Amino acid sequence: MPIRPASTDDVETILDLIRGIAEYENLTHQLEATTEKLQESLFGENPVAYALVAEDDSSGIVGYAIYFYNFSTFLAQKGIYLEDLYVKPEYRGKGWGKKLFTAVAKIAYDQNCGRMEWMALDWNDPALEFYRAQGASLLEEWRLLRFLRPELEKLLK
């Protein structure tokens, strides 16, 4: 099967792909993931996220998706948030991205989620075009805000 849930044996490979996505997004300086932390987050006692991998018969893992459950107050219902969707550059344009995306959508649908959400960078035209082609709504007005631990600390001092 080309798309399957990740297993603990895949963690190292997924981390390599995460490095790929960070480079593509010019965000390598934000990368603090380690094998141990990823292992714990996906397969520890209290998993906080879930991973699917796309596996090519001859080439092995060529892409991955990571998602977690979120919540919409307006729907008062859980949803799925797609944190990452990535296919290695040399395997793009072959349908792997669509297969991964559809697999996550199926989980959202089957588990009675009210919606599925994700984010993309506003300059990432291939991604935005792909998502528009799948029928997604782009919510132009919303802006993301963030605290890292130093800002949390500063507020709480």
Phi and psi at 128, nearest 5°, equal -65, -40
Nearer residue to a second copy within complex by CB, 58 or 112: 112
Residue 86 appears among annotated catalytic residues:
no
Task: Give the nearest distance from C-beta 5 to a second copy in angstroms.
Answer: 16
Task: Give the nearest distance from C-beta 153 to a second copy in angstroms.
Answer: 7
Which residues would be at the binding site for a second copy (CB under 8 A)? 18, 21-22, 27, 30-34, 37-38, 40-41, 48-49, 66, 68-78, 81, 83-84, 102, 105-106, 108-109, 113-123, 128, 131, 134-149, 151-156
Q: Which residues of 5-25 are buried (b: 16+ CB within 10 A; e: fewer)?
A: ebeeebbebbbebbeebbeee
Nearer residue to a second copy within complex by CB, 62 or 80: 80
Nearer residue to a second copy within complex by CB, 93 or 109: 109
Nearest-angstrom CA–CA distance, 94 and 103: 16
DSSP states along 27-53: -GGG----HHHHHHHHHSSS---EEEE
Nearer residue to a second copy within complex by CB, 94 or 128: 128
Task: Give the nearest distance from C-beta 89 to a second copy in angstroms.
Answer: 18
Task: Give the nearest distance from C-beta 91 to a second copy in angstroms.
Answer: 19
Phi and psi at 6, nearest 5°, equal -70, 155
Give the pair of three-digit tokens for residue 72.
């919409």
Q: Among candidates 102, 117, 103, which has minimal Cα distance to 71?
A: 117
Q: Which residues are catalytic?
A: 131
